[in-house]
Amino acid sequence: MTDEKFLITELVLTAHLYNQSDKLTVDDLPQKIRKHYWDEKEKTVKRPMYVTEGDIKSIYGIENVKNSTKLLPFLEFEDFGSQIKLNIFDLAIKWVTKHPEAVENINKNPVLASFFENYDSLPVSYKKAKASILPKESGREWINSLIKTIESEKGSEDMLKLAHIVAPEDIQQNISDLVLTKAQEDEIEKMTKAIQYRDYLKRIGLREIGKLLFVGPPGTGKTSVARAISGQLKIPIVEVKLSQIADQYLGETAKNIDRVFELARRLSPCILFIDEFDFVAKARATDEHAALKRAVNTLLKAIDEISLVEHGVLVIGATNHPNILDHAAWRRFDEIVEFSLPDKDMRKKILDLILRNIEGTFDTEEIAKITDGYSGSDLRLIAREAVLNGLITERTVLTQQDLIRGVAEFNKRTHLKKLDESA
């Protein structure tokens, strides 16, 4: 556990250096500090930053702030306002450099690292510290600030109700939590590099990049991968379903599409994930509603006009029915990423991941053999059934038989569902 006196000194020095430098930005502040001082209206951490007893309690959970501060000769605790001030800068710096936890903590704080990498012989690096923290765009507070601004504008309610916005810090599954094919891994790597080198791509004029179409059966991980990319790139994801954008008043559907793309531009850099893309084909095939066809044309035009390089928006479409998409839909995407049902080896890897935190002895090879045609989502449901069945008998340690029973119950439910659909 980090020394309380060091944490107090870290915050006071961070505030002091941040206030003094016009080169340091809000992205140089560690997430805990940034979140606490974030100004929702200004969308930043305003200068000057002040440090009070309440700030330290809120950020670090320290209770005896006043007593700890009095043990540090370079700090002063003002009873009026409970503000903590830095009195002797050089003495504070020397105290920090001799502290046993200095290197570890400074390498997680770009503000401090920017100063200490050129001071004395501490093995700290601004670059390393910067890489250890997330940018402001990854935080829920950044997204909330943008939403707050949008809410104050006329017609904002119509724009915001159409999409589900997820912050990278809210993503529960990382790339490492997913079993991916080599092709899927390659596409993720390409998009990661495209985001990193946007300025370069713009300079060389390569703008037709960053539009992916995920195709495959339900439950094969299309949404999970899109969210994991959001977490990997540390940018928010705007999720929409085309069927929900189609307004009961068809004349509004085209406007809804424009609103969604405008929202994505406002949240840039971000991912715009468009699910149920096969709705495009269904709409184009009907002869009933000219307004719906106009809406589809609006969508295709909007995809054409938005760019990862220019606007910072990565567009990902997803469909369970690629066979019904026509050429007009296909050609909007520069990359097609296939999500097939997992083979036996992939099913085993998925099961190993799902069960890694569940106590018990399992033969996932056997379960993989008897689950041919199952999606990753199906395998998670089997694990869920096994866990719940164990809890019924007050057991948190599972057996192979629990998993086999989970498979049998899943098969029974699938059979009943098919009977219901055929009725």
The CA distance from 248 to 242, in Å, is 13
The residue among 261 and 288 whose pLDDT is bigger is 261
The DSSP symbol for 163 reads: -
**Do residues 29 and 17 make contact, with C-beta atoms less than 8 angstroms apart?**
no
Peptide bond into 110 cis (omega under 30): no
Give the model confidence (pLDDT) of 320-371 as tens digits: 988 888 787 888 898 899 999 999 999 999 999 999 999 998 999 999 999 9
**Phi-psi label, residue 165: left if phi above 0, alpha if psi -120 to 50, beta otherwise:** beta
**Mean pLDDT for the stretch of residues 279-286:** 63
Whole-number mean pLDDT of the chain? 88
Neighbours of 196 (CB within 10 A): 11
**Mean pLDDT for the stretch of residues 190-203:** 89
Strand order through the sheet with 211-215: 164-166, 237-241, 270-275, 313-319, 211-215, 335-338
Enclosing H/E stretch for 142: helix 140-151
pLDDT for position 421: 46
The yes-or-no verdict on residue 422 having pLDDT over 50 is: no
What does the H/E/C string look like for 312-381?
CEEEEEEECCHHHCCHHHHCCCCEEEECCCCCHHHHHHHHHHHCCCCCECCCHHHHHHCCCCCCHHHHHH
The CA distance from 422 to 250, in Å, is 31
Neighbours of 36 (CB within 10 A): 18
pLDDT for position 286: 57
Give the model confidence (pLDDT) of 90-145 as tens digits: 999 999 999 999 999 999 999 999 999 988 778 999 999 999 998 888 888 988 88
Confidence tier at 302 by pLDDT (50, 70, 90): very high
The yes-or-no verdict on residue 157 having pLDDT over 60 is: yes
Which pair of structure tokens corresponds to residue 75?
Answer: 């700090």
Neighbours of 3 (CB within 10 A): 14
Above pLDDT 70, what percent of the chain?
A: 92
The yes-or-no verdict on residue 423 having pLDDT over 50 is: no
**Do residues 226 and 273 make contact, with C-beta atoms less than 8 angstroms apart?**
yes
Name the fold adopted by 344-422: Helicase, Ruva Protein; domain 3 (1.10.8)
The CA distance from 113 to 104, in Å, is 11
Distances in Å between the alpha carbon of 128 and those of 32, 41, 106, 108, 133? 18, 31, 10, 8, 9
Confidence tier at 234 by pLDDT (50, 70, 90): confident
Least confident of 4-8, 47-51, 156-160, 255-259: 156-160
**Mean pLDDT for the stretch of residues 150-155:** 76
Write down the domain spans for the chain: 4-133, 138-338, 344-422
Above pLDDT 90, what percent of the chain?
A: 58
Domain 138-338 belongs to what architecture? 3-Layer(aba) Sandwich (3.40)
Confidence tier at 80 by pLDDT (50, 70, 90): confident
**Mean pLDDT for the stretch of residues 23-32:** 95
pLDDT for position 420: 45
The yes-or-no verdict on residue 373 having pLDDT over 60 is: yes
Residue 13, amino acid: L
Confidence tier at 285 by pLDDT (50, 70, 90): low
**Mean pLDDT for the stretch of residues 160-187:** 87
Collect all residues with Cβ–Cβ distance below 8 Å to 314 and sequence separation of at least 6. Answer: 191, 194, 195, 210, 211, 212, 229, 233, 235, 269, 270, 271, 272, 308
Give the model confidence (pLDDT) of 59-77 as tens digits: 999 988 999 999 999 999 9
Which pair of structure tokens corresponds to residue 422?
Answer: 């055929």
Distances in Å between the alpha carbon of 380 and those of 89, 173, 208, 353, 384? 56, 13, 37, 10, 6
The CA distance from 171 to 39, in Å, is 24
The yes-or-no verdict on residue 287 having pLDDT over 60 is: no
pTM, 2 dp: 0.81
Confidence tier at 163 by pLDDT (50, 70, 90): confident
**Do residues 189 and 232 make contact, with C-beta atoms less than 8 angstroms apart?**
no
**Do residues 213 and 317 make contact, with C-beta atoms less than 8 angstroms apart?**
yes
